[in-house]
Amino acid sequence: MELKDYVLENQRIIQAVQNRTPGDERLDMYYGTLDYATARFHTILLKLSQDRILEQENSLEVMECFEAIQAFYNNVKRYEAWPKFFKHIVVMMLHGIGTRRIPKIKRLLNQVNN
């Protein structure tokens, strides 16, 4: 995938964050995480677009970060749609993604900045 493809794929996430009406505290937290993660990811993409060698070196990490954001978004959508009885399963999945995979985005941003 090229860098512009990542941005185009993340457009639906950005639209969902912008069109969201606040109310549910937990959903607000999840959408806030998505907002921060996509903003950091797009900053990474901007930095990498300026340096092709750095882009080649970090292509695997960029793909992992992209997949983490997509997985988190898909599970947030599940959380919204599933019945209350099953939401605890999705909460556990979101917690796992949020503590193991999402922090990789911040680490990659720090690595690209330095």
Closest CA to 62 of 108, 11, 106: 108
Average pLDDT, the chain: 93
* Location of structure tokens 């690595």: 111
pLDDT at position 88 is 93
**31, two tokens:** 């959408």
Are residues 37 and 98 in contact, defined by beta-carbon separation less than 8 angstroms? no
Kindly tell me if the per-residue pLDDT of 1 is higher than 90: no
What's the CA gap between 77 and 61, in Å, rounded? Answer: 25
Range 61-80 average pLDDT: 96
Kindly tell me if the per-residue pLDDT of 101 is higher than 90: yes
Q: Where are the alpha helices (DSSP H) in 50-102?
A: 52-57, 59-81, 87-100
